[in-house]
Amino acid sequence: MSDRPLTLVLVSTPVGQLGSGRGGGVELTLASLVQGLVQRGLHLHLVAPDGSCSPVQSAQVTLHTVPGVDQPSWQHAERDSPMRIPQDAVLPRLWTCALELASDADALINFGYDWLPMWLTPHVESRIFHLVSMGSVSAVMDGAVADLARWDQRRLAFHTRRQASDFDLVEPPEVVGNGFDLSRYELKLGTDGPLGWAGRVAPEKGLEDAAAVAARLGETLRVWGLVEDNAYARRIESAVPAGTIEWCGFKPTSELQRELGGCRALLNTPKWNEAYGNVVVEALACGVPVIAYDRGGPGEIIQNGETGWLVPPDDRDALEQATLRASSIDRQACRGWVERCASQEGLAARVEAWIRRGLTPVDGTIS
Ligand code: HBI
């Protein structure tokens, strides 16, 4: 089987249609991975909620959509919330469809952060693998990951080691990073632009710290992203001098990268264990150094002194001092790191190797 191109079933997140933006970082990951796997000659069935768009138009990719109500997001639930299945839920339908397609495939990859597909895995013949999209946000999900790791941890992969360290695993984790279509990002070398911040405007992203630092420096902070919490955004704005924050809204990649590339630095201030940090890599791809809290995925991605500066989490003084040193970072080095470590080709190669390893019988014989 080692030289025959694989056929895979990829099952998207149940929290929103593919292409709607409501799926968050998983949508970007799936789009890059589908493109990368197609270039490697794989055949893909993509299973997603009705209204989804395939990220790639190719004879190698077949999109299957199912109706149903979005799964409640674990990001907006309490840590000890029970697993909920809404009436007319899309999640079980996604998996009915995926398991029907499984007979035509070598393996399935789940991109949803949900209990059902993890619970299913040891109980079906089909080989289901999981690319875990978040750190620990739910006790129920922590348990599902721990149980699956004890059954066969080769079925699990994570974006970063720091994300994986949130979970109770039995061996070193499979870490695949992430990947982007770098032809969509233009390297810019200007070093006199404004400061930038990008991400969902919600408490776990810590915009207030970046705004405070921009205010101390008497600079404008350009902010890109969906304002998920209006009251939170208003509180941040009222805490700094008028005009400190320039709200740029949620922009599609082509516009985001053009505007982001004009920044002299991106501030990244996560308050939670961010699994990866897509916006960090998007900034680096445009040559923008990243000044970040040494927390979660961004703290693992940023090479201190080479592609940005890492400071102790929640230390606004250190963030301010590091921002003043942004110009000491070589913007070409930022782009170089992304080309070496976060291309869509690299992600697809790492994911295919993970699946092939997981399909090899544990006794080491070749199937
Ligand atoms: N919540 N229940 C659930 N399932 C998901 O797949 C999920 C989620 N919350 C957020 C989310 N996925 C995506 O935004 C990830 O990119 C983080």
**25-39 helix and 344-359 helix, angle to the nearest 10 degrees:** 80
pLDDT value, residue 25: 87
Q: What is the DSSP string of 239-295?
A: TS-TTSEEEEE---HHHHHHHHTT-SEEEE--SS--SS-HHHHHHHHTT--EEEES-
Q: What is the DSSP string of 15-60?
A: TS-TTSSTTTHHHHHHHHHHHHHHHTT-EEEEEEETT---SS--TT
pLDDT at residue 212 tops 90: yes
pLDDT value, residue 367: 39
Reported as a pLDDT band with limits 50, 70 and 90, residue 2 is: low
Express each pLDDT in 238-278 by its tens digit. Answer: 999 999 999 999 998 999 999 999 999 999 999 988 999 99
pLDDT at residue 359 tops 60: yes
Alpha-carbon distances, residue 8 vs 108, 172, 251, 363 (angstroms): 6, 25, 31, 23
pLDDT value, residue 366: 46
Percent of the chain with pLDDT over 90: 91
DSSP H or E stretch at residue 182:
none
Reported as a pLDDT band with limits 50, 70 and 90, residue 169 is: very high
Average pLDDT, the chain: 95
Query: Residue 14 C-alpha to ligand 1 middle, in angstroms?
Result: 8
> What integer is the mean pLDDT of 202-216?
95
Express each pLDDT in 8-40 by its tens digit. Answer: 999 999 999 998 878 788 999 999 999 999 999
pLDDT value, residue 24: 80
Nearest-angstrom CA–CA distance, 30 and 55: 8
Cβ atoms within 10 Å of 137's Cβ, excluding its own:
22
Pairing of strands 245-249, 221-224: parallel
Nearest-angstrom CA–CA distance, 239 and 96: 50
The pick from 13, 33, 158, 278 for probing ligand 1's pocket by mutation, whose C-beta has the most ligand atoms within 8 angstroms, reads 13
pLDDT at residue 181 tops 70: yes
pLDDT value, residue 19: 85
Q: With 0.75 as the threshold, say if the pTM is over it.
A: yes
**278-285 helix and 25-39 helix, angle to the nearest 10 degrees:** 60
List 367's β-bridge partners, or say none: none
> What integer is the mean pLDDT of 96-118?
98
Cβ atoms within 10 Å of 123's Cβ, excluding its own:
7
Q: Domains in the chain, ordered, with CATH?
A: 7-179+343-359 (3.40.50.2000), 182-341 (3.40.50.2000)
Cβ atoms within 10 Å of 205's Cβ, excluding its own:
24
pLDDT at residue 201 tops 50: yes
The pick from 11, 12, 15, 142 for probing ligand 1's pocket by mutation, whose C-beta has the most ligand atoms within 8 angstroms, reads 15
pLDDT value, residue 1: 54
Reported as a pLDDT band with limits 50, 70 and 90, residue 311 is: very high
Q: Is the CB of 24 under 6 A from ligand 1?
A: yes
Which sign does the torsion angle of CA 349, 50, 52, 158 carry? negative
pLDDT value, residue 365: 47
Q: Is the CB of 135 under 6 A from ligand 1?
A: no
